[in-house]
Amino acid sequence: MNDKHTNEQTRAGFAAIIGAPNAGKSTLVNALVGEKISIVTHKIQTTRFQVRGIAMHGNAQIVLVDTPGIFEPRQRLDRSMVHAAWSGVADADVIVHVVDAPSYSKVLRRAEPSGQDNKSAQDTDRVIKGLGKRSGERPIYLALNKIDEIEKEHLLALIKTFEEAKAYSEIFMISALKGNGVSKLAAKLSDNMPIGPYLYPTEQAADIPLRLMAAEITREKLFVRLHNELPYASHVETEKWTNMKNGDLKIEQVIYVRRKSQKPIVLGKGGQTIKQIGQMARHDMRESFGKKVHLFLFVKVRESWHEDRSKYLESGLEFDV
């Protein structure tokens, strides 16, 4: 009796966040959750697998499914990432398509878009096409992101273009980074969650194993610290996780690179680079896990880690797609 009463009052469901690489999907998920649960970098293809963030909004629980960017896949890891992104859409109650508004606008206006802008616009068109096939009866919202970096007239022109396409239930203008428009979007998402009991404890912010989250934190620092020197050739694995007697955490991780020549890049002169990566990662881990962390990083060369089935499965990626 009591249960039924609760069910009528609460809402819970899934919102898939999709879009081209670098659109700001993970930034948006973090903003909606109110905590950093998904890693963010200035580089494309940061997110490699589905990460679930959990946001409470009034009496609604929104499970946000952050997905890898959708792009033209070439290699196995690419295919698995794009597959993971679309499968996030398959189970969702609502879909949010995030678009980098300044970048897309540049391409439409032919205002000297960069190669990356052009590529990103093609990826955005790929998402629009893919959504057309998969929408079903569900609402699809467009989130024009990074409005802190676009002029108003260009934004209005962009909205008009998308309105004419009639592909979206509603268009939102947001800055995931600064927070503009985020709560309005959250309200809309919560209204569209199906009525039902909560899917997670209300205080839980993420559904990702802690070992994996720790590996993601280190991968973010690796990307941030090494910029273009180590493009996607790395993978991080938490090998050992020890709860120490004094309450601290001991975390041992391996950074896999594909080539021998990449190992000294990660280590840096006199081990300086890996030391900095470790310091930054340890800082974030302390924030995320609420405990002092003793972090040990090792670098190993494994030419074919990206062809290793187990490395895919542990992060929930499918290998044979």
Ligand X SMILES: Nc1nc2c(ncn2[C@@H]2O[C@H](COP(=O)(O)OP(=O)(O)OP(=O)(O)O)[C@@H](O)[C@H]2O)c(=O)[nH]1
Q: Do the beta carbons of residue 25 and residue 44 sit within 8 Å? A: no
CB closer to ligand X, 144 vs 254: 144
Would you count residue 288 as binding ligand X (CB under 6 A)? no
Minimum Å distance from CB 33 to Mg ion? 13
Specify the long-range contacts of residues 118-124, CB closer than 8 Å, at least 24 apart.
119/71, 120/20, 120/21, 120/22, 120/23, 120/44, 121/20, 122/72, 123/20, 123/21, 123/69, 123/70, 123/71, 123/72, 124/19, 124/20, 124/23, 124/99, 124/100
d(CA 68, CA 132): 19
Would you count residue 25 as binding ligand X (CB under 6 A)? yes
CB closer to ligand X, 224 vs 321: 224
Q: Which of 51, 60, 176, 214 binds ligand X (CB under 6 A)?
A: 176
The item of ligand X, Mg ion, none sharing an interface with residue 22, based on CB under 5 to 8 Å by kind, is ligand X
Would you count residue 315 as binding ligand X (CB under 6 A)? no
Minimum Å distance from CB 85 to Mg ion? 10
The item of ligand X, Mg ion, none sharing an interface with residue 21, based on CB under 5 to 8 Å by kind, is ligand X
Q: Do the beta carbons of residue 64 and residue 80 sit within 8 Å? A: no
**Which among 30, 47, 112, 129 is positioned nearest to 81, based on CA atoms?**
47
At 23, is the secondary structure helix, strand, or coil? coil
Would you count residue 145 as binding ligand X (CB under 6 A)? yes
**Residue 243: both structure tokens together:** 């709860």
CB closer to ligand X, 26 vs 273: 26
d(CA 129, CA 277): 39
The item of Mg ion, ligand X, none sharing an interface with residue 192, based on CB under 5 to 8 Å by kind, is none
Would you count residue 40 as binding ligand X (CB under 6 A)? yes
Which of 119-127, 174-182, 241-249, 262-270 is the region at the interface with ligand X (rule: CB under 6 A)?
Answer: 174-182
**Which among 21, 61, 56, 55 is positioned nearest to 40, based on CA atoms?**
21
Total residues contacting ligand X by CB under 6 A comes to 24
Would you count residue 207 as binding ligand X (CB under 6 A)? no
Minimum Å distance from CB 124 to ligand X? 11
The item of ligand X, Mg ion, none sharing an interface with residue 41, based on CB under 5 to 8 Å by kind, is ligand X
Q: Do the beta carbons of residue 297 and residue 253 sit within 8 Å? A: yes
CB closer to Mg ion, 46 vs 192: 46
Biggest alpha carbon–alpha carbon distance for the chain:
67
Minimum Å distance from CB 16 to ligand X? 13
Name the residues that contact ligand X, by CB under 6 A. Answer: 19, 21-27, 40-42, 44-47, 68-69, 145-146, 148-149, 175-177
